Amino acid sequence: MQLRSEAAVLMDSTTGAVLYSKNGNEKMYPASLTKIATAIYAIENGNLEDRVVISHNAVNTEGTRVYLEEGEVVTLHHLIQGMLINSGNDAAVAIAEHIDGDIEKFSKSFNEYLKKQIGVSNTHFSNPNGLYGEDHYTTAEDLAKITNYALKNKVFKDIFGTKELVWDGLSWDTTLFTHHQMLKGEVPYSGITGGKTGFVNESKQTLATTAENGNMKLTAIALKADYKRDIYNDTKQLLDFGFQHFKTSYLPKAKTFTVNDKTFQPEKSIVISEPLEGAVYEVTKQGELKVQTQNQDTIQVVQLKRVKEREEEPVSGEPETEDPFTRMNSLFGTIVVMAAGAVYKVTKRKRK
């Protein structure tokens, strides 16, 4: 695959398996893809019906806006819509100030949330909107993790997939349209379910896209392309690669694997990503199941549990445990023998 974007990751939205990576763990500047993280943070840490009073600081935020007015009152839910659909930097700042009081406190709480709740390892955000800063960075893989986590939330998923929305602002009444050309239909591709665009000079073009077909759901992240046409072509290549080579399937709990005379199995039925041409399973002696392609590229690792072996036979001198029916039959046999003996004695006396 020849991608023009400097970094890219294709991930199974359901399992989190990385199906393709180009510089997936390299430090990158995300631009407005930051707002994906801000949105889920606000949804999970705020009340969507809260009425937010817009500050002077939010109104004077540079970049793309939804033209909020100082003193205007907008619900948190509506601000998240304006931030994701129209990429409103002013809405992002208003959200951060409402949740945590100011940008500095927001950044501290925000980064702790991303690490503890989502499990990112190479991300640090210093603002809620993605404006450039040396200490505002992430990776393609972390962004895919954040997007997959957010997609589990229905409110986020609905907004992320919104193509247009009536915006009834104090000074700006309009219809907002998503900036994502594949979601909007300007760049045709079947199965697109959501998306977010980004651009600042330092990060160049950035793009997050989700799509699905009958076999699986995919999350594609592409970072630092020079032109929009390049980043959309890269995204189409990523999605084509995923849909043409992989599927999401189930590994049943009853499935067992044996290695070095040890047997392992899943603790429960789990969802896995598999190559369409068939998966190769490799199990380590620690019980890690590696799901691999035919070329032995690992796409997912699942921890299995060891199956307990049958208890050993009791050693000589130890009493064996009988089942209830054996004990009952033995007792019945003893009673019959005793009864027979009694009858014999009675009969013998009578003969005398």
Closest CA to 20 of 241, 346, 277: 241
Q: Please determine, for residue 62, whether its predicted confidence score (pLDDT) is greater than 70.
A: yes
Distance of alpha carbon 162 from alpha carbon 276, whole angstroms: 31
> Does residue 260 sit in the same domain as residue 230?
no
> Does residue 258 sit in the same domain as residue 145?
no
For residue 98, tell me if it sits in a domain. Answer: yes
Distance of alpha carbon 30 from alpha carbon 198, whole angstroms: 7
Q: Number of structural domains, the chain?
A: 2
Residue type, 64: T
Give the HSE-up count for residue 59: Cα atoms under 13 Å, Cβ half-sphere: 15
pLDDT score at 330: 45
DSSP state of 229: H
Last residue of a domain, one of 288, 306, 324: 306
Distance of alpha carbon 69 from alpha carbon 170, whole angstroms: 7
> Does residue 116 sit in the same domain as residue 60?
yes
163 among known catalytic residues: no
Query: Which residue segment(s) compose the domain that 266 sits in?
Result: 252-306
Q: Work out the average pLDDT over 173-194.
A: 96
> Does residue 180 sit in the same domain as residue 49?
yes
Last residue of a domain, one of 245, 277, 298: 245
> Does residue 163 sit in the same domain as residue 272?
no
Q: Work out the average pLDDT over 158-183.
A: 95
Contact (Cβ atoms closer than 8 angstroms) between residue 272 and residue 281: no
> Does residue 55 sit in the same domain as residue 76?
yes
Domain CATH code at residue 119: 3.40.710.10
Q: Work out the average pLDDT over 226-251.
A: 96
- Percent of the chain having pLDDT more than 90? 77
For residue 317, tell me if it sits in a domain. Answer: no
Q: Please determine, for residue 287, whether its predicted confidence score (pLDDT) is greater than 50.
A: yes
Contact (Cβ atoms closer than 8 angstroms) between residue 3 and residue 220: no
Cα angle vertex 198, ends 54, 163, to 5°? 75
For residue 334, tell me if it sits in a domain. Answer: no
Q: Please determine, for residue 210, whether its predicted confidence score (pLDDT) is greater than 70.
A: yes
φ and ψ at 303, to 5 degrees? -85, 125
Contact (Cβ atoms closer than 8 angstroms) between residue 305 and residue 265: yes
Residue found under tokens 């009444």: 173
> Does residue 280 sit in the same domain as residue 172?
no
Reported as a pLDDT band with limits 50, 70 and 90, residue 350 is very low
> Does residue 226 sit in the same domain as residue 266?
no
SS3 61: coil
Q: Work out the average pLDDT over 331-347.
A: 40
What is the overall mean pLDDT for the chain? 89
Contact (Cβ atoms closer than 8 angstroms) between residue 68 and residue 74: yes
Strand 257-259 to 204-212 pairing: unpaired
pLDDT score at 347: 37
pLDDT score at 301: 92
> Does residue 230 sit in the same domain as residue 257?
no
For residue 161, tell me if it sits in a domain. Answer: yes
Residue type, 350: K
Q: Please determine, for residue 346, whether its predicted confidence score (pLDDT) is greater than 60.
A: no
pLDDT score at 310: 53
pLDDT score at 171: 86
Residue found under tokens 């009834």: 168
Max CA pair span of the chain? 126
Q: Tens digits of per-residue pLDDT, 288-336?
A: 999 999 988 899 999 999 987 653 344 443 444 444 444 444 444 443 3
Out of 21, 32, 55, 126, the active site residue is 32
Contact (Cβ atoms closer than 8 angstroms) between residue 234 and residue 5: yes
Out of 13, 55, 87, 107, the active site residue is 87
pLDDT score at 309: 63
Which two structure tokens, joined as six digits, stand for 207? 């793009």
31-35, 283-287, 325-329, range with the lowest pLDDT: 325-329
Q: Between residues 307 and 47, which one has the greater pLDDT?
A: 47
pLDDT score at 340: 39
Closest CA to 83 of 165, 187, 138: 165
171 among known catalytic residues: no
Last residue of a domain, one of 245, 271, 290: 245
Q: Tens digits of per-residue pLDDT, 117-148?
A: 999 999 999 999 999 999 999 999 999 999 99
- Give the rounded distance of the alpha carbon of 163 from its chain centre: 23
For residue 315, tell me if it sits in a domain. Answer: no
Rounded to a whole number, what is the distance in angstroms from the first to the last CA of the chain? 109
For residue 342, tell me if it sits in a domain. Answer: no
For the whole model, what pTM was predicted? 0.85
> Does residue 280 sit in the same domain as residue 143?
no
Distance of alpha carbon 141 from alpha carbon 224, whole angstroms: 14
190 among known catalytic residues: no
> Does residue 99 sit in the same domain as residue 232?
yes
pLDDT score at 205: 98
Rg of the chain taking only CA atoms, in angstroms: 31
Neighbours of 288 (CB within 10 A): 14
Out of 21, 22, 35, 126, the active site residue is 35
> Does residue 93 sit in the same domain as residue 131?
yes
